[in-house]
Structure 1
Amino acid sequence: MPKVVRAGAVSHVGRVRSNNQDSGFIGKHIYGVADGMGGHAGGDVASSIAVKYLAEQDQLFDTVDDAKRGLTEALLQANTLITDAVDEHSELRGMGTTADLITRVDDEMVIAHIGDSRVYRFHEGQLEQITTDHTFVQRLVDAGRITPEEALVHPRRSVLMRVLGDVETNPDVDTYVVPAVEGDRWLLCSDGLSSYVEEDQIAEVLARTVESSREVADDLVQLALDNGAPDNVTVVVIELGNRPLEPMRSRIVGAAANPLKYASRAPRRVKRILPDVLQSSRRLAQLPEREEFVPPSDEFLQQLIDEERKRKRWRRVTWLVATVVLLAVIAGAAMLAYSWTQQQYYVGAYEDQVAIFQGVQATLGPWELSTMIEETGISVDDLPAYQHMQVTSTIPFSSLEEAQALVERLEDAVKH
C-alpha cells in the first residue's frame, strides 16, 4: 500500500501583511494547515494554539473510523483551547482559525476540514479540490445563486460560516475519505494560495519532477507572490509512493513556529505565557481583517441572501442606467455629426447636369447624407475637360454661397 514518502511545508507573510497569521505542520502521520482570523493581535495566536496542539496529536490510526473520530476530536479540543485563551485574554475575543488535517490509514486518506483553507488531490495529471469552503459565497454557489467565477470577486467572499474559535463551542467538522494512490500529490493550503493562483497553475507546479516536496511548496508560494498575493500564504505538500524519497522530519511553519510556550493540555496557563506574543503583536500596524465569521444561522443566512438580491438588483439598475447614458451619448454624438453634415455643400453631377447638394457625399446604412437642392441647367458634357473631371468627382464647400459662386464660374466657362 502507498505511504507518504516525502513532504514539504512553507509559510510566507505575503506582500502586504505585517505579520503571519497562518500556521502549518508536517508530522510523521498527520499534516495540517491553519489560517488565523481576528485581527493582528488574534489570528496568529489562534492558528498557533491550534497547530501546536494538533502537531502534538500526531499518531497512526488503526482504522478509517478511528482517524475520522480522532481528527475531529483533535480539532474540537483545539477549539476549546482557543476559547480558554480568550477567557483569559478578553482582547483576543473574536479570534479564530480555519484548519485542515490529513492522514493516511492503510490505502485511504482521511481529511478533517473547517473553514476556507483547502485540500487538493493531484491525481494522474488532474487537480481536484476535495474540501468544500465553509463560506457564504460557497453557500450561494451551492444554491445556484451565483457562479464560481462570480464568487471570486463577490464582496462577501471573506465571510466564513465555520471556524475554530470562541465564536462556537462545538463547531461542525467535515471529514472526507479518499483512496490513497501511489504517485498522488496532496496539497493543503491557506486561501493566500487558492485565492490568487489559478488551479491550472497549481496543477502545473504539482506535475513537476523535483528533488523534494519542499521545492514544490516553495514554487507554489513564489507563484502566489508573483501574482501579487497580499495575504499570508501557507502550503503543505505530501507525496505518496512505495519507497522513501527523502528523510521525513516533523516541521512547523508560520506563526506556530514562533516561541509561544502554550501548554495545550493546560489551557489555564495561557495568561502567563501569551503576553510575549501579545506584546509583539500590539506593536504591529493595524490592518483590516481579511475574513470575518458569522453564525451559520438561517436568519443571518437569509439576511445575507437578501443583501445579495439587493446587490444584484442594484447591479441591474446600474447597468440599465449606464446603457441608457451610453445610448444617449451615442445618439447625441450622432445628432451632432448629422447636424454638421447638413451644414456642408458640394457641387456634383445630377442626371448629366451640374447641381448643388446639401450634406456630404456619403451614406449611413440605407440613408443618404445629402440631398440635391439646386439644379443649374448646365450640362456636364459642355464643361471643359478639367471642370468636367472636378464636377464628376464632386467639389465640396462649407457654405451655399461658395457653391453658387462656383456655378457662376462654370456658366462663364461654358459660354466662352
Structure 2
Amino acid sequence: MVFEGSSTALSHTGKVRSNNQDSGYSGSNLFVVADGMGGHAGGDVASSLAIHRLKELDHAYASTSDAEYALRDAISDTAAELIDTVALRPELAGMGTTVSAVVMVDDYAVIAHIGDSRVYLFRDGALTQITTDHTFVQRLVDSGRITPEEARYHPRRSVLMRVLGDMDPDPEIDAFIMPTQPGDRWLICSDGLCGVVDDAHTGKTLAQGYAPGRTADLLLKQALDAGAPDNVTIVLVDVGGNHPVASGTPTIVGSASTPLGVEIPAARPGRSSWLHPARQAANEPTHFEPGLEYLEEVIEEDRRRVRRRRVWWIVGLAAFLVAAAIAAVAGYNWTQTRYFVGTDEDSVVIYRGVQQNIGPFTLSSVYEDTEIPLTDLPIYQRMAVEETVSARSLSDAQAIVASIRRSLPKGES
C-alpha cells in the first residue's frame, strides 16, 4: 500500500558553519536525515553517500519486516561504502554520519537510527522523542549522573558513542516498528534544530497545524534566531489529516542535493608526512566515536567538573554567609547609635537601639530608667510614651524626658 500523507524537507547551513554537511530526503514512503561529520569535506561526502544509498528504499513494502530488513541492509551497505571511500581517499579518514530514517508501511512507521539526529512524534498535542541519542551525555543522563537540562549545555554533548563511519563495517543500529494514525506528525531533524530549540517550543510550532512546508520554515526560523551554530535539517511528515496527499518527485536537500555532494574530493598535495598524514577530517571535528581510553578520560573530566562546581558552590555560599554576617554586624552597630523613649512595666525608660525586632532577637536595650511613674503622666502623654517616641540622639532622648518631667504636677518628679 502506498503511504498517504504530505511531507517536506529543508536544510540550512546555519549562521556559523561555512558549508552544509547535513543531507535530507523526503519521498513517497521514505524520509531520512543524515548529519555528516569529519572535516571540511568528509561530512558532506558521508551524509550524501547515506542519502543516495537509502533513497533506493523509497517504494511500497509488503510488510514492515521487509522494510526493517531493507533499512538495516542499506545502512550496513553505506558503512561498507564509507570504508571503501576512505581507502580511495585517505585524507577523508574519520568521516561519518548519523542516520535517522522512517519508512511508512500501511499504518506503521519503520524506524532505523544511529547517532544524535532525532525522530519525534507529535500526536494529540503532545511531542514525544522516539529515538535515543547515541551520545556520551545521554549515557550520563541514563545513569542519573546529570539531568536532561544539564545535558543540553554539557561541554561533551557532541561526542557520539555510535555513528555510521569508516571504522566499523557492522554498525549497531536501533530499528523498531511503531503504529501510526491519521493526524500524526513525524519530525526528523539534525541536532542543529533539537540542539538549540527545546521540545516545548518545537511542540508549540507543530501544534499550530500549518502545512509541513510552513511548519518547517517556522522551526528553521527559531533555530536561526537562537544562533544556529550548526547545520539545520528538517524533514516533516504528516499522516493523513487535513493536508493533501503529496505528489511529484522526491525532495533531496543539503549536501546530497548537488552532484558535488557525492563527488569524492581529490587529495590535496603537500599536506602529508609520515608523522601527520593528510586528514581533511581533522579540520573541523564536530563529532567522533570515542575509544575506551578517551571515554575514561572524559568520565574523569566530568567528575573533576562536578567537584569544581561543588567547590565553587561551597566557596560562594561561604562568601555569601560572611557578607551576610558582616552586614548583620554593621547593621546592629548602627542600631546601637539610635535612641527612643518608651516604657517598661511602670516607668518611663530611655532605650538604646531601634523599636523593631528580628524574630526572637531584640534590637534595643535599656539605657536609663528615669523612674518617672507612668501613673503620674497625663493620659495623652502616657499613650505617646507607650507607643514610643523616636529620638535623633541620646541628648534628644534626654531632652524628651526633661520635657516630660516639666509637664508633671509639682512635687511628682
Aligned to 1:281: none
Determine the C-alpha separation between the residues in 1 that align with 2:85 and 2:405: 105
Segments of 5+ residues of structure 2 without an aligned counterpart are 269-281
Aligned to 2:398: 404
CA deviations over 1:366-416 (Å, ceiling 9, x no partner): 222111121223345656788667644434345434433544454455487
One-letter identity of the residue aligned with 1:350: D
Question: Residue 88 of structure 1 contacts residue 271 of structure 1 at CA under 8 Å; is this kept in 2?
Answer: no
Q: 1:380 to 1:54 in 2, by over 3 A?
A: same
Q: 1:350 to 1:53 in 2, by over 3 A?
A: same
Q: 1:287 to 1:91 in 2, by over 3 A?
A: closer
Q: 1:271 to 1:153 in 2, by over 3 A?
A: closer
Tell me whether 1:97 sits opposite 2:92 in the alignment.
Answer: no
The TM-score, its normalising length taken from structure 1, stands at 0.82
The correspondence of residues 147-166 of structure 1 with structure 2, limited to 5 A, is 147-166=147-166
Query: How far is the alpha carbon of 1:108 from its aligned partner?
Result: 3.0
Segments of 5+ residues of structure 1 without an aligned counterpart are 264-269, 276-285
Determine the C-alpha separation between the residues in 2 that align with 1:288 and 1:413: 91
Aligned to 1:219: 218
Aligned to 2:298: 304
Q: 1:287 to 1:320 in 2, by over 3 A?
A: farther
Aligned to 2:323: 329
Aligned to 2:233: 234
Aligned to 1:279: none
Aligned to 1:295: 290
Determine the C-alpha separation between the residues in 1 that align with 2:183 and 2:395: 88
Aligned to 1:144: 144
SS at match of 1:116: coil
Tell me whether 1:319 sits opposite 2:313 in the alignment.
Answer: yes
Query: How far is the alpha carbon of 1:363 from its aligned partner?
Result: 1.1
Determine the C-alpha separation between the residues in 2 that align with 1:158 and 1:71: 25
SS at match of 2:326: helix
Tell me whether 1:340 sits opposite 2:334 in the alignment.
Answer: yes
Query: How far is the alpha carbon of 1:24 from its aligned partner?
Result: 0.4
Question: Residue 2 of structure 1 contacts residue 107 of structure 1 at CA under 8 Å; is this kept in 2?
Answer: no
Determine the C-alpha separation between the residues in 2 that align with 1:2 and 1:61: 8
Percent of aligned pairs with the same amino acid = 48
Aligned to 1:64: 64
Determine the C-alpha separation between the residues in 1 that align with 2:345 and 2:125: 75
Which of 133-142 and 60-69 deviates more? 60-69
Query: How far is the alpha carbon of 1:337 from its aligned partner?
Result: 0.8
One-letter identity of the residue aligned with 2:12: H
Determine the C-alpha separation between the residues in 2 that align with 1:362 and 1:41: 73
Aligned to 1:246: 246
Aligned to 1:191: 191
Query: How far is the alpha carbon of 1:34 from its aligned partner?
Result: 1.0
Query: How far is the alpha carbon of 1:209 from its aligned partner?
Result: 4.0
Q: 1:387 to 1:5 in 2, by over 3 A?
A: closer
Q: CA RMSD in A?
A: 3.2
